[in-house]
Amino acid sequence: MKDSTKRKIFRCCVIFSLTVAIILAAGWISDLKEQSEETVQMVSERTVIPGGQSVGIRMDVKGVLIVGLEEIETKKGVVSPGYDAGLQIGDMILSVNGIPVECAGDVERIVREKRNLLDLEVQRKKEILHISLNPVQCEQDGTYKLGIWVKERIAGIGTLSFYDPESGMYAALGHGIYESQTGTLLQAGKGKLLQTEVKSIREGEAGNPGEIRGIFCDDTRPLGNLKTNSQYGVYAEAENVFEVQKEPVVLASQEQVIEGPAVMLTTVYGSTVEQFDIRIDKVNRQKAAGSKGLEISVTDERLLEYCGGIVQGMSGSPIIQDNRLVGVVTHVFVNDPTRGYGIFAEFMVNEAESARNLKNSN
C-alpha cells in the first residue's frame, strides 16, 4: 500500500476516534447536566403540611411593658409616682436596682422588699434610660405601688399556617402580635397553641374589618408550646401533631409564585378546613422577609356571601397554587375586605427553623 494511502486511512481513523470521543463526551456532559438538575430539584422539594384550622393563642408576655399609668390614693393624697418620675406608656422596664426583671411579679417582689428609692433601667424605643422613683403606699390595701399597668398576657384566635415535619414546628398568623396601644411587638413568655372551634363570624365591610368568634376547645391537649412571637408569625414546638390534609405539599420559592388563580385554606365554622378560590393579583419579589409580598383578592362567591371576604382571625391562612404552598395571608385591606396581603411561605419556614433553635421558654 502506498504511503499516501496509509496516511489518508490514518487521518480518517483519527477523525473518527475524535468524533466518537466528542459524542461520548457530549453524552456524558448531558448526563451530568440532567443529574445536576435532578439534584437541584430534589434539594428544593421541601414539603410541609398546610394548615387552615382556626387556632387559639394563649401567651404570657415576657418583659415588663408599661401600658398604662395610674393614680394611687395615699394618706397624703392622690399621686402618680410613675408619671411624676417620667415613665411613659410603651416603656419596657429591663431592671430594678440592677436586678433584671422579666414580668410584673419580679417588679412587685422588689418593690415589696425595698419600699424606698428605686433605680429603673428602661428601654424607650431604641434609647436606654435610668429613672428613679419612690413607691408609695396605697391607702386601700397597704401595698407599695409604682402606679403603672403592665401587659402580662394575651389570648386570641388566628389560623394555623403549616406544620413543618423537618423542624417539628407549627407556624401561625403570618404576622406578629403587637400591643394595641403602643404598637410594641410582644416578647413571648410561656404560652400554648390550642385547638379552636369557630362559632360565628362578623362580616367585614369597608372601614370595619370583620372577625372570627370562637372558643378554645381543649386546653389540656395543646397543639404546641410557643417558642417565639416574631414580626412574621407565631411559632410553636409541636406537642400534639394533627394533619389538616393527609398529603403534604411542596414548599414554593417566591420565584415560583405567579399572578393568577390560587386557593386559600381557612375555617369559617366549627373545625372544618375549607378551600376557597382567590387570585394572586401582584407578586412583590423581596430580598428580605416582609408581610406584603403578595396582594390577593377573594373570588369565591361562597366566602364573599358568608363573611364579605377576609376577616380578622383568618391571618395565617395558607395560600396554595399549583399544589404548592406559596404564601400565608397576613392582613386585610381596611377599606376593601375582599382584598388582602400575604407573606411568602419560604420566609415563614426559615423563621420556624430559627424558632426551633431558641431556648424553650416553657
Active site residues: 175, 300, 315
Q: How many helices (H) and strands (E) does the chain have?
A: 5, 23
Please report how many Cα atoms fall inside a 13 Å half-sphere around the Cα of residue 232, on the Cβ side. Answer: 22
C-alpha cell, 92? 419596657
Letter for the amino acid at 313? G
Residue with cell 383578592: 297
Q: Assess contact for 22 and 29: CB atoms under 8 A.
A: no
How many CB atoms are closer than 10 A to CB 22? 10
Q: Among residues 111, 113, 131, which one has the least CA distance to residue 122?
A: 131
C-alpha cell, 348? 415563614
Q: Among residues 301, 309, 315, 305, which one has the least CA distance to residue 348?
A: 315
Letter for the amino acid at 83? Y
Q: Assess contact for 319 and 328: CB atoms under 8 A.
A: yes
d(CA 253, CA 345): 8
CA 222, 187, 327: angle at the middle one, nearest 5? Answer: 70
d(CA 270, CA 264): 17
